[in-house]
Chain A
Amino acid sequence: MKTRFSRLVTLLLVGALLIVGVTSITAQESELGPITQAVLDRGSLICGGNANVRGFGFLNDAGEYVGFDIDVCRAVAAAVLGDASAVDVRPLAGTERQAAIQSGQVDMMSRNTTWTLSRDVTWGAIFGPTTFFDGQGVGTRVELGVNSIAELDGSSMCVQAGTTTELNIGDYTAANSIDISILTFPDANSTWDAYLSGACESWTTDKSGIASFHISAPDPGEHMILPETISKEPLGPLSPQNDPQFAEIIAWTVFGLINAEEAGITSENIGDFLPADGEADDAYIARVGPNVARILGQGNNDSGSYLGIANDFMVNVISQVGNYGEIYERNLTPIGLARAGSVNDLWTRGGLIYAPPFR
């Protein structure tokens, strides 16, 4: 009777422990934010992107989205889902961005979007780290023989609606008393078409965007970018503010890309930085150094687990997408945006690309 009773008690206790254990596991899982959870459930990442800007976000002839900004989406998909191809890109025009973020229609956005105070607040967004430091410029025809924005006095200029660009150029011309009539078009393609067909003598957007469109001109040599940079345009990813945990994942994926470049880990050589079969932690860390081990979540270091995702998430990211430098080379060098010596070079080489440490 007594034994039977104690057995029952033990059984109940074990059962209770099990239940507690299970609930605590679910509790840990539910610490994932709503977006991260939704992405995991869906098995893909919905990323607001661009379809028309070569080098940044472009729908190529094969029907695939490619570009620097798209690679940031792919990196996040690799981090969360382990698969860089699990990205569903939604192209967004300048004016559609706010609604897309506010309504949670996209999990994140990576679409040459400038981080500003008002957007940070009124879009209900969390901006991730800046991936490309840009500034607004003006593109014009070489044949006009114009060497500065001031010389465009009396002409007209095309610009895209719903951008920081349209506000900056308004402020710039008013502040410098330059009389330029500003024609606003709904999206990048119509702005560019209007410029090409002569509706305006010049057009303006982020300098990177101008470069990207100029190389697609029938004769790129006919167009030039004026020397002035009239604004700061820090471009980077952003996500809805209802999931700070997901925002952390985006931020640390980008930081991981930068740290990997700094540490010299590339998609080609990443195998050399992983523990060999049966290699002991001590030996491994001695070989690659503790920093690399932490970035890659190897050698008994916590990395992705802080973020609620695979501890070695950066291994997936780098092997599938590459490090920051590789992404830049692949997408932006071809459109003529040289990196060496520019603000977008690594801080160790005098640029602004800098990331906090994995520790």
Chain B
Amino acid sequence: MSKSKNIPHMPPQEADTFAFLRDLRFIRAAAQIIFAFVVVFLLVAMWVSVSGALQEKNLVPGFEFLSRRSGIPINEAPESYSVNSTYQDAFLVGVRNTLRIVSVGLVSATALGILLGIFLLSSNWLVRTISRVYVEILRNTPLLVQLIFWYFVVMLGLPENDITLPNESVLIVPLRYIPYLVTIIAVWIVTVRVGTLPQRLVTGAVTAVLLLEIAFRYMGDSYAVIIALAVVGAGLFVLPRYTDSIPEGWEGFVMGIGISFAAQFVGHVILDGLAGMGILENARFVYGEVLPAFYLGRSGFVYPAFAITVNFMLFGIALVIGLIVAIAAYVYFGQVTIRTGKPIPRLLYALGIILLFGIVGWFAAKTQGLPEEVTIGEGDSAQVVTLEQARTEELLDAEELIRYNTAPFLIRIPERNRFGRVEIGSELTPFYMALLLGLVIYTSAFIGEIVRAGIQAVPWGQVEASRALGLSNAQALRMIVLPQALRVIIPPMGNQYLNLAKNSSLAAAIAYADTYMIGTTIMNQSGQSITGFFLVLVVYLTMSLIISLVMNYINGRFQLVTR
């Protein structure tokens, strides 16, 4: 017990009897206990009054109803969910959907926010002003309004999705763009070799692409044409070495055209290779008709589905082993570099190893063949038939049929039915897209400001010092400024993450089946409002606490270690 040293004239005997009343530790503890009592009392009083009132109305809150059939249809749910699932299943679907949006949202909002923070400080007037306007508009309009805009104006404003031309979709990436990808890579490699940026080479390549686009519309793209192109392309590519007839400086242009032509062949070979391996099971590669592989339209963002077949096992094992070996190699070569000082392209090696194991695994799986017999139905009605019979008598539905394929996995190009709904392929629904866009873009505005403030908090001398060391602007930002700025950035960032997680509950306005939306539907259809609210609260509380804990941990790691 601390003697009051600074009040020496106080009579000592008084201090002995009631001294503990003045002890700060006692006062604190007592205050805590009293507070705890008040809180518990209030909670109990609330519980008694609420349950009393509900009892009067024959409505006893409980959890039993959770195991009853819900009958609630949910469009954004895994295959296993149906209207015959329980309330509990329905609620878990909601939790899953909340996690899907919050996890992706946090990462994307952070990335976009950091970029924005850097733009806000850009020395380029246009970039700086545009990002400033962006931030101000987003910060000062209600999120709900923005979400409704993203869904009803943007997503539903996208064109209808016809598979045939003319396809008005905003973003389509058809398979036939593979050759162009090859073109880009080839041009890149050549320019790196040459060492400068040969504008004419790029111009030539692009011109050729445009010419090809038009030519294919009229000629079709039979292999004869493709091979002819490859030959002509290769010829054009090497031509400048053998002749001087090309006007001075135009060699690059000719080479560019050559690259584009040849790339058509390589692209086709890659695609037909994949198709031949049975991986691209429903792909078509036709000019004049667009069969999009990636697609953003009214039905959301559509992308090829990845389907696992009965032969996946061996391939999977090979891949996992490959991954382990690759990591080991990566670590090993890293150490070699440290020991010898010799730079080794270890990432390339690691990727090569994975690819190698993948190919070996693929062939191993492919040679397995297919099971002779399959089981149809479940439980008592199950019956074993040959695969042949199952196929001819159509005992298996389309989904099951594709599982019986010798290739270990399939990439299935999206196909839509006459209503424009995706039948084959994967999709991010327009609700998910709208909510994600809304949340990410809204939160990024706040994060951008935090990042800007954090960067400005780093003394200018640090930047000058790094320049003096010969670091480039980007290097200075990445290695000197951002690490120091993080100390200022992380604490307020936690708040933004919490906001994003809680704001995701506005999903109901745009028909995204998140925890809150399904929670209210459950309350409505079961009449169990108290339990329903309790469950919803628990989910958001847990999520917030986890975010807080993680942020506190990260914050602890990044603060200056002072001793």
A interface residue numbers (CB < 8 A to B): 94-95, 98-99, 102, 118-119, 121-124, 144, 152, 154-156, 159, 161-162, 166-167, 169-171, 173-174, 181-186, 190, 193-194, 197-199, 201, 241-242
Q: How far is the CB of A100 from chain B (nearest CB, A)?
A: 12
Residue from B156, B520, B524 whose CB has the most chain A CB atoms within 10 Å: B524
CB <8 Å contact, B419 and A156: yes
CB <8 Å contact, A198 and B160: yes
CB <8 Å contact, B529 and A156: no
Q: In the docked arrangement, what's the CA distance between A94 and B529, Å?
A: 15
Query: In the assembled complex, which residues on chain B have CB atoms less than 8 Å from the CB atom of A185?
Result: 511
Query: In the assembled complex, which residues on chain A have CB atoms less than 8 Å from the CB atom of B82?
Result: 174
Query: In the assembled complex, which residues on chain A have CB atoms less than 8 Å from the CB atom of B421?
Result: 154-156, 181
Minimal Cβ-Cβ distance residue in B for A156:
B421
Q: In the docked arrangement, what's the CA distance between A182 and B431, Å?
A: 13
CB <8 Å contact, A161 and B75: no
**Which single member of B75, B152, B156, B513 contacts A156 (CB below 8 Å)?**
B75
Query: In the assembled complex, which residues on chain A have CB atoms less than 8 Å from the CB atom of B160?
Result: 198
- List which B285-303 residues lie within 8 A (CB) of chain A: 298
**Which single member of B57, B59, B72 contacts A170 (CB below 8 Å)?**
B72
4 closest Cβ pairs, A-B complex: A122-B527, A170-B73, A155-B419, A124-B57
CB <8 Å contact, A171 and B75: no
CB <8 Å contact, A183 and B75: yes
Count of chain B residues with a beta carbon within 8 Å of a chain A beta carbon: 38
Question: CB-defined interface of B408-420 with A at 8 Å, one 1/0 digit per residue?
Answer: 0000000001110
CB <8 Å contact, A166 and B508: no
Query: In the assembled complex, which residues on chain A have CB atoms less than 8 Å from the CB atom of B131?
Result: none
Q: In the docked arrangement, what's the CA distance between A195 and B454, Å?
A: 46
CB <8 Å contact, A181 and B59: no
Known interface pairs A98-B527, A102-B529, A171-B83; A122-B419 also in contact (CB < 8 Å): no
**Which single member of A99, A152, A184, A242 contacts B75 (CB below 8 Å)?**
A184
Q: In the docked arrangement, what's the CA distance between A241 and B54, Å?
A: 12
Q: Is the CB of B84 closer than 8 A to any CB of chain A?
A: yes
CB <8 Å contact, B156 and A102: no
Question: CB-defined interface of B399-431 with A at 8 Å, one 1/0 digit per residue?
Answer: 000000000000000000111010100000011
5 pairs from A and B in contact (CB 8 Å cutoff): A94-B524, A155-B419, A174-B83, A186-B517, A242-B57
Query: In the assembled complex, which residues on chain B have CB atoms less than 8 Å from the CB atom of A166?
Result: 72-73, 521
**Which single member of B83, B419, B423, B521 contacts A162 (CB below 8 Å)?**
B521
Known interface pairs A124-B59, A170-B71; A197-B156 also in contact (CB < 8 Å): yes
Query: In the assembled complex, which residues on chain B have CB atoms less than 8 Å from the CB atom of A98?
Result: 523-524, 527, 529
Q: How far is the CB of A180 from chain B (nearest CB, A)?
A: 9
Q: Is the CB of B509 closer than 8 A to any CB of chain A?
A: yes
Q: In the docked arrangement, what's the CA distance between A183 and B520, Å?
A: 15
CB <8 Å contact, A184 and B58: no
Beyond the given pairs A124-B59, A182-B74, 12 more chain A to chain B contacts, judged by CB atoms under 8 angstroms and listed by A's residue number, are: A99-B529, A124-B58, A156-B421, A159-B73, A167-B71, A167-B83, A170-B71, A171-B83, A181-B75, A182-B73, A184-B521, A190-B509
CB <8 Å contact, A173 and B529: no
B interface residue numbers (CB < 8 A to A): 56-59, 71-75, 82-84, 152, 156-157, 160, 298, 417-419, 421, 423, 430-431, 508-509, 511, 513, 517, 520-521, 523-529
Q: In the docked arrangement, what's the CA distance between A186 and B251, Å?
A: 64
CB <8 Å contact, A184 and B520: no
Query: In the assembled complex, which residues on chain B have CB atoms less than 8 Å from the CB atom of A122?
Result: 59, 526-528
Minimal Cβ-Cβ distance residue in B for A174:
B83
Q: How far is the CB of A353 from chain B (nearest CB, A)?
A: 30
CB <8 Å contact, B525 and A171: no
CB <8 Å contact, A199 and B529: no
Q: In the docked arrangement, what's the CA distance between A193 and B510, Å?
A: 11
CB <8 Å contact, A167 and B59: no
CB <8 Å contact, A154 and B524: no
Q: How far is the CB of B397 from chain A (nearest CB, A)?
A: 11
Query: In the assembled complex, which residues on chain A have CB atoms less than 8 Å from the CB atom of B523?
Result: 98
Q: In the docked arrangement, what's the CA distance between A333 and B511, Å?
A: 33
Q: In the docked arrangement, what's the CA distance between A156 and B517, Å?
A: 19
Q: In the docked arrangement, what's the CA distance between A302 and B216, Å?
A: 91
Q: In the docked arrangement, what's the CA distance between A94 and B59, Å?
A: 20
Residue from B417, B423, B511, B526 whose CB has the most chain A CB atoms within 10 Å: B511
Residue from B56, B57, B59 whose CB has the most chain A CB atoms within 10 Å: B57
Query: In the assembled complex, which residues on chain B have CB atoms less than 8 Å from the CB atom of A197?
Result: 152, 156-157
Q: How far is the CB of A348 from chain B (nearest CB, A)?
A: 38
Minimal Cβ-Cβ distance residue in A for B82:
A174
CB <8 Å contact, B71 and A102: no
**Which single member of B56, B74, B527 contacts A118 (CB below 8 Å)?**
B527
Query: In the assembled complex, which residues on chain A have CB atoms less than 8 Å from the CB atom of B75?
Result: 156, 181-184
Q: In the docked arrangement, what's the CA distance between A154 and B416, Å?
A: 10
Q: In the docked arrangement, what's the CA distance between A280 and B524, Å?
A: 56
Minimal Cβ-Cβ distance residue in A for B525:
A167
CB <8 Å contact, B83 and A161: no
Q: In the docked arrangement, what's the CA distance between A199 and B431, Å?
A: 10
Query: In the assembled complex, which residues on chain A have CB atoms less than 8 Å from the CB atom of B525?
Result: 118, 162, 167
Q: In the docked arrangement, what's the CA distance between A184 and B77, Å?
A: 13
Known interface pairs A184-B511, A186-B509; A121-B58 also in contact (CB < 8 Å): yes
CB <8 Å contact, B508 and A186: yes
Q: How far is the CB of A52 from chain B (nearest CB, A)?
A: 16
Query: In the assembled complex, which residues on chain B have CB atoms less than 8 Å from the CB atom of A95?
Result: 520-521, 524
Query: In the assembled complex, which residues on chain A have CB atoms less than 8 Å from the CB atom of B520?
Result: 95, 161-162
**Which single member of A99, A152, A162, A198 contacts B156 (CB below 8 Å)?**
A198
Query: In the assembled complex, which residues on chain A have CB atoms less than 8 Å from the CB atom of B511?
Result: 183-186, 190, 194, 199
Q: In the docked arrangement, what's the CA distance between A155 and B420, Å?
A: 8
Q: In the docked arrangement, what's the CA distance between A174 and B81, Å?
A: 12
Q: How far is the CB of B424 from chain A (nearest CB, A)?
A: 12
Q: In the docked arrangement, what's the CA distance between A169 and B71, Å?
A: 10
Q: In the docked arrangement, what's the CA distance between A242 and B54, Å?
A: 12
Q: In the docked arrangement, what's the CA distance between A94 and B524, Å?
A: 9
Q: In the docked arrangement, what's the CA distance between A212 and B74, Å?
A: 26
Q: In the docked arrangement, what's the CA distance between A122 and B58, Å?
A: 8
Q: In the docked arrangement, what's the CA distance between A166 and B71, Å?
A: 9
CB <8 Å contact, B72 and A167: yes
CB <8 Å contact, B57 and A162: no
Query: In the assembled complex, which residues on chain A have CB atoms less than 8 Å from the CB atom of B509?
Result: 186, 190
Q: How far is the CB of B238 from chain A (nearest CB, A)?
A: 53
Q: In the docked arrangement, what's the CA distance between A71 and B280, Å?
A: 63
Query: In the assembled complex, which residues on chain A have CB atoms less than 8 Å from the CB atom of B430?
Result: 199
Q: How far is the CB of A30 from chain B (nearest CB, A)?
A: 20
Minimal Cβ-Cβ distance residue in B for A164:
B525
Q: In the docked arrangement, what's the CA distance between A95 and B526, Å?
A: 12
Query: In the assembled complex, which residues on chain A have CB atoms less than 8 Å from the CB atom of B528?
Result: 122
Query: In the assembled complex, which residues on chain A have CB atoms less than 8 Å from the CB atom of B84?
Result: 174
Q: In the docked arrangement, what's the CA distance between A193 and B59, Å?
A: 36
Minimal Cβ-Cβ distance residue in B for A181:
B75
Minimal Cβ-Cβ distance residue in B for A144:
B419
